[in-house]
Structure 1
Amino acid sequence: MSFWNLEYEMDASSLAPEPATYETAYVTSHKMACRAGAFSSCGQLVATGSVDASIKILDVERMLAKSAPEEVDPGREQQGHPVIRTLYDHTDEITALDFHPREQILASASRDCSIKLFDITKASAKKAFKSITDSEPVLCVAFHPLGDHIIATTTHPVIRLYDVTTSQCFVCPIPDHHHKKQVHSIKFSPNGKYFASGSADGCVKLWDTVSNRCFNTLVNAHDGAAVCAVTFTGNSKYLLTAGMDSSIKLWEIASSRCLIQYTGAGTTGKQEHHAQAVFNHTEDYVMFPDEATTSLCTWNARNAARCQLMSLGHNGPVRHMVHSSTAPAFLTCSDDYRARFWFRRNTH
């Protein structure tokens, strides 16, 4: 999608639409706080997860049809309800969700000490077809780009790597490589060669996927504050991190240098909850939900210029945010029990 040649100055007119111009296209509610969300790789499905232990899967086209019925082709059949599945197979809070990169499978992580895999092609199946049990509450889960492995983190600092087919678990055998405190965020690079982890110990670590060993540690990545989010650029060369100091940084992986810092979020230094920094689908913008004002902070990804603030319309902190990789759409999940689906319609 994005070339990320930082020397090349883009013409402003060729940038994607600013996230502050998106509108809420749909709102779905859980019975308790909503703290997990994900887009499928094709961008057609969204999943939300709640403290009430339920998972909802929503159809993007149906959400858009509901919000703008006048734009729907009258020759088409009535679309139906946007929520196409509700899954109940966990007994505690859903902490993380991730769609399989190629198949219709959803992975969920929960405080009930399990990871579950759901086949979302089966309309009647409320239960997972596979469950991986851990001894600790599971906090994060992410698929390898090929879909054959899953990385997961728990309240214990050691990262787990699972073979999806056999459920076999691998951990790095070198004690010094592990984080000292629990890991809040974990992601594979799009090329699948490595993964990154951000921890309460203030470090960001990069791990080799094949050997499962740490090859680089960014110590005190956020001046000692806990690291709560990591995400790669599409070319796997840069890493975006967010810390509990409310700052967002872009790192060059090859040199371990912080290239850009995105500052000015209202909660600086007073953040209570973990928040994600994410790119929009073209990587033109960096987005971050500001806790103090429940608004969206956005920066130009290349020069860190602040863009327009936008109210996210929630009555509580936004506990999870994720942007579609294919379209101008993102999802916000909040302690007000709601998940909001945001979309930018063509204005011309």
Structure 2
Amino acid sequence: MKENTGDVDTRNVVKNRELLYRMIISQLYYDGFQPIAATLAAAVHADPPCPPSDRLINLMMVGLQHEPDRKDRLAASSGAEHLLGTTGFDLEYEMDASSLAPEPATYETAYVTSHKMACRAGAFSACGQLVATGSVDASIKILDVERMLAKSAPEEVDPGREQQGHPVIRTLYDHTDEITALDFHPREQILVSASRDCCIKLFDITKASAKKAYKSITDAEQVLCVAFHPLGDHIIASSTQPVIRLYDVTTSQCFVCPIPSHHHTKQVNSIKFSPNGKYFASGSADGAVKLWDTVSNRCFNTFVNAHDGFEVCSVAFTRNSKYLLTSGRDSSIKLWELASSRCLIQYTGAGTTGKQDHHAQAVFNHTEDYVMFPDEATTSLCTWHSRSASRCQLMSLGHNGAVRFIVHSGTAPAFLTCSDDYRARFWYRRNTH
């Protein structure tokens, strides 16, 4: 039986009206009118919650451009570029709740590897097939993800395939002190490491017998952070003093910002390039978050007291380079819109509010549907819906010491936790049919 056209039209009108209400609520939140937005959300029963977004004003300005009597009033750059499709997290677009990835609390431990001392650094390769862990014992391990999964569930391995080897495919010994940071080259089989021995080292991980780095860069201070540019031709590094270094990978030439007032005043705890490679972000013990231009190597924006004066522990960009996720020693996580320099969302409720002894990282899952943060006091994983900031299920991480580092795969439902209990745990969500 054919559906009545009038019924279809009525449903479309209702659906569009609901969308309009949601955009009005989001715009009110974005503009700082939280009480009004909350009242309207309750009145129209907006569910799921509406995150802050300026999509409505952008749509309105684009629409006005097509009104004949308005065209002369509006510039061509009125914001239409914001309507281009993107992947991952973007507050300008409605999201179907049914398309959410599995909650991180549903992941299970697939493999555990141990160092001789505390494990405090980790990284996933760009393709998601390799994991690296670094320890206070100065060693670095590289593990194969497929082999870890095969070890944890041998019954799922295809009998026709060759026998899987040990998950640890390399152990690198070329530092003399704690490994503080690791990062994989975005395109090649190269790993960069930072250490308290004042060295940055580059390893060619295609060579099975090579335990030593093929290139070493020496600093005058202990190196705390290191990260590759998305093209892999430069790295940024920070040490126990405030000045950030930008290195050319080929020549090892070092560049620093020439303007003293641009620098942090205390050590930098976290640095990351934006995925588009145009800028990088730094979070410091001085409480500030800074944004730097990659070409000029100069700071173009500073969020002073980003976490109410507490140290900034981590920075992480969204894949579209429009937002920055930060965490602080106050145990709060904030999402900043870079175009407006505003904190749009704050993720709260981690158990150790204001009482962290160590730095902890806030990270997105691979689809950017969730924000993850390890709670120091309970050794649990705190998770929030990234758009609504609503809390998800708490999950024990199974460590016997503080989780000193967490990193999620960029390609799959998998993450790594590194702990003072000497262990690194690889977590994975298997398909459940």
Give the TM-score normalised by the residue count of structure 1. Answer: 0.98
1:180-329 to structure 2, matched below 5 A, reads: 180-329=265-414
State the distance in 2 between where 1:187 and 1:119 align: 22
Q: Using the TM superposition, give the Cα deviation of residue 7 of structure 1 relative to its aligned residue in structure 2, in angstroms.
A: 4.2
Q: Using the TM superposition, give the Cα deviation of residue 11 of structure 1 relative to its aligned residue in structure 2, in angstroms.
A: 2.4
Deviation string, structure 1 residues 189-210 (Cα, Å, up to 9, x no partner): 0000000000000000000000
State the distance in 1 between where 2:398 and 2:146 align: 22
Query: SS of the counterpart of 1:81?
Result: coil
Q: Using the TM superposition, give the Cα deviation of residue 113 of structure 1 relative to its aligned residue in structure 2, in angstroms.
A: 0.1
State the distance in 1 between where 2:150 and 2:344 align: 41
The equivalent of 2:262 in structure 1 is: 177
State the distance in 2 between where 1:10 and 1:105 align: 37
Q: Using the TM superposition, give the Cα deviation of residue 323 of structure 1 relative to its aligned residue in structure 2, in angstroms.
A: 0.2
State the distance in 1 between where 2:399 and 2:410 align: 23
Q: Using the TM superposition, give the Cα deviation of residue 164 of structure 1 relative to its aligned residue in structure 2, in angstroms.
A: 0.2
State the distance in 2 between where 1:216 and 1:251 align: 12
State the distance in 2 between where 1:73 and 1:83 align: 21
The equivalent of 2:110 in structure 1 is: 25
Query: SS of the counterpart of 1:190?
Result: coil
State the distance in 2 between where 1:114 and 1:240 align: 28
Q: Using the TM superposition, give the Cα deviation of residue 13 of structure 1 relative to its aligned residue in structure 2, in angstroms.
A: 1.7
State the distance in 2 between where 1:47 and 1:154 align: 21
State the distance in 2 between where 1:332 and 1:12 align: 27
Larger Rg: 2
State the distance in 2 between where 1:20 and 1:224 align: 31
State the distance in 2 between where 1:319 and 1:100 align: 23
Give the TM-score normalised by the residue count of structure 2. Answer: 0.79
Deviation string, structure 1 residues 140-159 (Cα, Å, up to 9, x no partner): 00000000000000001000
Deviation string, structure 1 residues 278-333 (Cα, Å, up to 9, x no partner): 00000000000000100000000000000000000000000000000000000000
State the distance in 1 between where 2:354 and 2:328 align: 10
Task: Quote the RMSD (CA, aligned, Å).
Answer: 0.5
Normalized per residue, the structure richer in helix is 2
State the distance in 1 between where 2:248 and 2:238 align: 15
Deviation string, structure 1 residues 17-57 (Cα, Å, up to 9, x no partner): 00000000000000000000000000000000000000000
The equivalent of 1:136 in structure 2 is: 221
State the distance in 2 between where 1:18 and 1:8 align: 21
State the distance in 2 between where 1:136 and 1:194 align: 24
Runs of 4+ in structure 1 displaced over 4 angstroms?
A: none
Greater relative contact order: 1 or 2 (C-alpha under 8 angstroms, separation 6 or more)? 1
Deviation string, structure 1 residues 230-288 (Cα, Å, up to 9, x no partner): 00000000000000000000000010000000000000011110000000000000000
State the distance in 2 between where 1:12 and 1:208 align: 36
Corresponding residue pairs, total: 344
The equivalent of 2:145 in structure 1 is: 60
Normalized per residue, the structure richer in strand is 1
**Please, which moves more after superposition, 6-15 or 269-278?**
6-15
State the distance in 2 between where 1:6 and 1:156 align: 36
State the distance in 1 between where 2:235 and 2:99 align: 36
State the distance in 1 between where 2:96 and 2:289 align: 33
State the distance in 2 between where 1:297 and 1:304 align: 11
State the distance in 1 between where 2:177 and 2:421 align: 18
- Structure 2 segments unaligned to the other structure (5+ residues): 1-89
Query: SS of the counterpart of 1:122?
Result: coil
State the distance in 2 between where 1:228 and 1:97 align: 16
Deviation string, structure 1 residues 70-100 (Cα, Å, up to 9, x no partner): 0000001110100000000000000000000
Deviation string, structure 1 residues 151-193 (Cα, Å, up to 9, x no partner): 0000010000000000000000000000000000000000000
State the distance in 2 between where 1:25 and 1:263 align: 29
The equivalent of 2:196 in structure 1 is: 111
State the distance in 1 between where 2:131 and 2:349 align: 30
State the distance in 2 between where 1:26 and 1:200 align: 34
State the distance in 2 between where 1:8 and 1:123 align: 46
State the distance in 2 between where 1:168 and 1:189 align: 22
Query: SS of the counterpart of 1:64?
Result: helix
State the distance in 2 between where 1:233 and 1:275 align: 18
Q: Using the TM superposition, give the Cα deviation of residue 12 of structure 1 relative to its aligned residue in structure 2, in angstroms.
A: 2.0
Q: Using the TM superposition, give the Cα deviation of residue 133 of structure 1 relative to its aligned residue in structure 2, in angstroms.
A: 0.3
State the distance in 2 between where 1:250 and 1:145 align: 22
What is the aligned counterpart of 1:85 among 154, 158, 170?
A: 170
State the distance in 2 between where 1:13 and 1:291 align: 31
State the distance in 1 between where 2:403 and 2:122 align: 11
State the distance in 1 between where 2:397 and 2:288 align: 30
What is the aligned counterpart of 1:6 among 84, 87, 91?
A: 91
Query: SS of the counterpart of 1:282?
Result: coil
Q: Using the TM superposition, give the Cα deviation of residue 6 of structure 1 relative to its aligned residue in structure 2, in angstroms.
A: 1.3
Query: SS of the counterpart of 2:269?
Result: strand
